[in-house]
Structure 1
């Protein structure tokens, strides 16, 4: 078996100090090759059947990573689309509990309904704020702006105690944090961050009974027999979560299949240990510089208040980070090294 380091070196050749996976990941070499091969298939007029097979391979790979049966996984394009399905399932007047300043894709579809009661609380108070009468709790497993990790165990217990449904966005977590999607009613993840895929794919996990989601976006791909459902109303929706599919961006899934294979080869536990060690190194270095990051233990995302304005200067120096909510946000993933951390710290010390 190849070592972690050998696998990473074979797949990634960054030309700068890239510390911005929380925005989007670098693509592995195998993914780039797969995308090029798919383009040739289109250019040469060959059958697209292998590309559709890649969609199903990705669905199965994500199901393994999420720890759920493949029948519970729907394939789409964006987290916001899946949030919209969850929002559409709620009756008028239902209360949705959310976290203050969570990522827009987790929040906005509930607000645009116009007839829901959306209540926002600080992340650390989420579980304690679940109450009788709450219909749904929606939260990101890791906050995009600063990397804080939700106490999902406490949330699950509080929701069960009050009979409340849960919706968890793993977009900033899947790939470095072990995902137990079966512990929640609904969950979602895009795949172009910690899962190393191209843009344009997202997975929704639904309950075994498919929940109360109305398949309002259903097209021919949501049918039990898609190729027999291309014309007229769909006579029979898929008996699995595939009824919530949207027409796939085939190139994206071709590349994503290669990316997910790499994630599975390396293993989420190994990625997590690597990523968190680098994040801790950065936090220690910040303390030596007299700086304090937003407290986010156990997260590979580190945000430093007040330094977001340095992002253009750092980019000019070949160091890619983000400016989020006024914070300088650095995010560490499997292709990063201790040298990358030290380079950023040296730039900040100047």
Structure 2
């Protein structure tokens, strides 16, 4: 029996979500056109409204996209190409590479201790290099560093800089409130902490950004939406058919998270993280970052010993072994008992 500490790689789908997906495809096997029309009429706008409520924003700022990579690449096509961009040098490649491959003028902010990204360092670069756009992950995929995007949003507004956030490692794990001091753009895939499987993502974009950088893609689906809802041009980012199967799973998982409450999920995840850190302090493990909870998410990484990853795998512990790091990630379905088993294995 394995213990799953790998949500940062891919979140577990509930049995209820699996049943939802099977039921939808059963309907498609009997009368596909009716099933398609029925789902869109009953769930499309309802799900958008639920997502807007989940992150506390206007529904007109929300679009469904296939994944974060799609979203950032489509946004880049709307830029002029001469913008000065600030990236974190070790951020997720799918965020950095589109800017690099399109030959933008890029400045990189560095970390300290392989972990901390200092807002003071970002501010220095904003002033020195007259940065136009900051693009950065809220939670770092390698280390779990949790950037204070509220403070970063304020900082970017102070310097008239646009802010794009990759929220793939935070959406579904941390409470988000975009009612005020939100980033200009927030993009996230749903297959990790939202536990909604592959093929769907969320795009949030405010009016100011979309007015400055209007979408340059379109299709029959998006054109029809914008004609019906001219006050929501973000729908242009939905040019083709939507992934009803993936969105049906997302709708089920979103209801589940609302029943538990995202506040309790975040609290639970961070309590597990704190418990884990406290109990490995005396072990000869190379922790990335400090043992306190400052700027922590529920992702914890240690430097990989040659045999440790294999030993954990042999003992049924599912983690990620990547970039010379062993990464643990704790979500709402993990328990203290599971952590005790992990800690016992590490002590052995």
TM over 0.5: yes
Change (3 A) 1:165 1:258: same
What TM-score does the superposition give when structure 1 sets the normalisation length?
Answer: 0.87
Structure 2 unmatched runs, 5+: 111-116
| Helix, strand or coil at the partner of 1:295 | coil
Q: Is contact 1:31-1:259 (8 Å) kept?
A: yes
Q: Is contact 2:78-2:215 (8 Å) kept?
A: no
| Helix, strand or coil at the partner of 1:88 | helix
Structure 1 position 286, deviation (Å): 1.5
Change (3 A) 1:317 1:348: same
Aligned residues: 327
Q: Is contact 1:27-1:196 (8 Å) kept?
A: yes
Change (3 A) 1:195 1:310: same
Render the CA deviation track for 1:91-143: whole Å, top value 9, x for unaligned.
232111011110112111111112x1111112223344222621100110000
The yes-or-no answer on 1:282 pairing with 2:255 is no
Change (3 A) 1:117 1:291: same
Q: Give the counterpart of 2:164 among 167, 181, 204.
A: 167
The yes-or-no answer on 1:118 pairing with 2:117 is no
Q: Work out the CA distance in 1 between the residues paired with 2:124 and 2:306.
A: 32
Task: Give the RMSD, CA atoms, in angstroms.
Answer: 2.1
Structure 1 position 204, deviation (Å): 0.8
Any residues of structure 2 matched to 1:224-235 within 5 Å, and which?
224-225=224-225
Q: Is contact 1:181-1:187 (8 Å) kept?
A: no
Q: Is contact 1:201-1:249 (8 Å) kept?
A: yes
Change (3 A) 1:41 1:306: same
The yes-or-no answer on 1:62 pairing with 2:48 is no
Q: Work out the CA distance in 2 between the residues paired with 1:186 and 1:178.
A: 17
Q: Work out the CA distance in 1 between the residues paired with 2:307 and 2:45.
A: 43
* Cross-structure match for 1:181: 178
What TM-score does the superposition give when structure 2 sets the normalisation length?
Answer: 0.87
The yes-or-no answer on 1:101 pairing with 2:90 is yes
Worse-matched range after superposition: 308-317 or 324-333: 308-317
* Cross-structure match for 1:245: 238
Structure 1 unmatched runs, 5+: 1-14, 227-234
Q: Work out the CA distance in 2 between the residues paired with 1:332 and 1:167.
A: 26
Q: Work out the CA distance in 2 between the residues paired with 1:56 and 1:24.
A: 27
Structure 1 position 349, deviation (Å): 2.0
Structure 1 position 292, deviation (Å): 4.3
Q: Work out the CA distance in 1 between the residues paired with 2:216 and 2:97.
A: 18
Any residues of structure 2 matched to 1:257-296 within 5 Å, and which?
257-295=251-289
Worse-matched range after superposition: 125-134 or 32-41: 125-134
Render the CA deviation track for 1:198-254: whole Å, top value 9, x for unaligned.
21111111112533344333221212358xxxxxxxx88854121211432221011
Worse-matched range after superposition: 269-278 or 307-316: 307-316
* Cross-structure match for 2:211: 211
* Cross-structure match for 1:140: 137
Q: Give the counterpart of 2:335 among 331, 334, 337.
A: 337
Q: Is contact 1:149-1:299 (8 Å) kept?
A: yes
Change (3 A) 1:211 1:295: farther
Change (3 A) 1:308 1:88: farther
Q: Is contact 1:137-1:164 (8 Å) kept?
A: yes
* Cross-structure match for 1:195: 194
